Structure 1
Amino acid sequence: MSDPHPARTEPLRIDLRSDTVTTPTPHMRQAMAEALVGDDVYAEDPTVNELQQEAARLLGFEAGLFMPSGTMTNQVAIAVHTQRGQEVICAEGSHIYEWELGMMAAFSGVVPRFVEAPRGVPDPEGVRRAIRRSIHQSPSGMISLEDTHNKAGGTVLPLDVLAGVREVADQEGLPLHLDGARMMNAAAAQGVAPREIARHFDSVSLCLSKGLGAPVGSVLLGSRAFIAGAHRYRKMMGGGMRQAGILAAAGLIALREGPALLPEDHRRARELAHALMGAGYAVDLDTVQTNMVYATIPQAQAKSDAWAAQGLLANALDVDRVRFVLHHQISDELLVRATEIIAGK
């Protein structure tokens, strides 16, 4: 007699669309269930306070502020650093422009001034030349860098470039912000402590929900005075989350345990890049520095749809460009199967 309730098997799902797709680990779920909470709008949530303080200590800042997303932390930083009618100097392809829906103009009343950035790396002298002081032009209000640079392929900003842009910012009297959504990947790739990157900046946005694996959240870091100003803008954007310690508890686990996992993501990204090339697709290996692989694939959407039907998910970003992002929930076994699907096996 057949079993009337046969065991259900989940279909194969290898999700390489982003490192935001990870689900909470058992340790995170336990921490969330046991988290002490309070009202964070009153700064009374002990777990949120612990997360903010720990992130600040780790990156060498005075204070931090927990928010729902990296878009919010970036846009709050812009709001605090600038005045309406100013320009934000940023590398071409920067997330704050490409994927934050014009928020710098809609909310802060500022516009971008782009700097050429081959493979995501701007020249400090190019940053200097982008600064505007004329009465006939919008004045420069701040400089923003992105590390790793998403659209360039997850590329890392060399430390000497950070030092060079810091020097320009100091000489010109401009605040310097880091969209550090994946700065922990940059630190791992360079074999340096995260504060060696963060020390060049007046403010840093650090995502917990990407490579570090938390389900939600980013932390904005800076001086106490800067974070005091950020509180107001967070509230204006609807970022006052009240008993947010349930989320911050997972963020603490991500901050403590996530960085050690990143080198394996980077190794698997290189292996995937070579597999894509073996299948006949073009990959610029010089850009495969962290956990991302961008491949040139004709009819990208049709190809990604065909792969999705076999359980492999990737993002077609253009007519002939597909992005793959590795994360800690992609094992070597899943990577092998992904490469088989790509190879048509």
Structure 2
Amino acid sequence: MRTVRILSGALLLLTVTVSPVRADDPCLGDEEEKSAKAAVAALTKAEQAGRPAELFVAYRSILGNECLDRYDKTALSRAKTGVPKLGRDLAKAAEAKGLFYSADPVRGDGKTSAFGYFEAIGDYAEANRVMMKAVQAKPDDLALFTAAWGVDEGRWVVPDQKTGERQPYVSPQAYRQELLKLASSTADRLMKAEEQDAKGLSGSAIEVAAATTKSLEKLRTAAEWMKFSQAGDKAARERAEQRGDAIASRPDSTFTQANAVMYYEFAGSSKAKDKVAQVKKKMEESSRALEKSGEKVKGAFTEQSQAEQKKFDKKKADLEKELGF
């Protein structure tokens, strides 16, 4: 009887001791166990397949999963060691293929860009380098340039080992200066090309319309590139106002002033807004004048028709009288 009581007490003590441990351990749940085992199986499969891109994705997917060591004691250490080295190797291979940048996330299909791999392993200096190569290869790609300009968004410096604090990563000033130089060069090219388009503003009304479309397109694009500099897009907008003035001063402005309005509206200055109001007022006055002129012409034709009808009726009556009708 005494032996039974001791055994029962031991079992109770074991139950009290073990239960809290299982309850406090997030890795001992059924779902957690299933997930961890699946991750280990996927990692093993990727390692055996020998496909670096897939293995890189598999390594990254298990980082931070502390439950894996219960089923594979070295999985996390292999991943922590493998990610940086494998990432650099894959980045170099992508760079050699000319795949410098892509906005797509890292994938296991081998199509990830060099930037994507460098960014994934936190090598921001190298990521910036290949990003710059991408921008230089496509100097007119504004979307790509915008991505390069905002490259630091979401980047963080490795946390301080003592305090655990994280600071946002800031790219070197030289990187920004190189981008500004490229943006300035692109804007200058567009402004020079616009000068050629603007020559059509001295032609016929049809030529003015065509030239305005081409000219404004380049001015608007140049303005987008200029926004990255401290001076902003002032130069493009000032030129637009000048183009509007040139059109508004034409002797045939009645037929071309709508183009002047387009330039003024893009210029956006207070003076340009006043000019828009003035030109639109002239357009309304011209429209009313044309309408009145049209009514006069219509009236003249009506009077002439009535007079001719009277003459015809008189001749008809005279002829009928002469013939005895």
**TM-score normalized by the length of structure 1:** 0.18
**TM-score normalized by the length of structure 2:** 0.19
Q: When you count helix as a share of all residues, which structure comes out higher?
A: 2
Where relative contact order (Cα < 8 A, 6+ residues apart) is larger, the structure is 1
Q: When you count strand as a share of all residues, which structure comes out higher?
A: 1
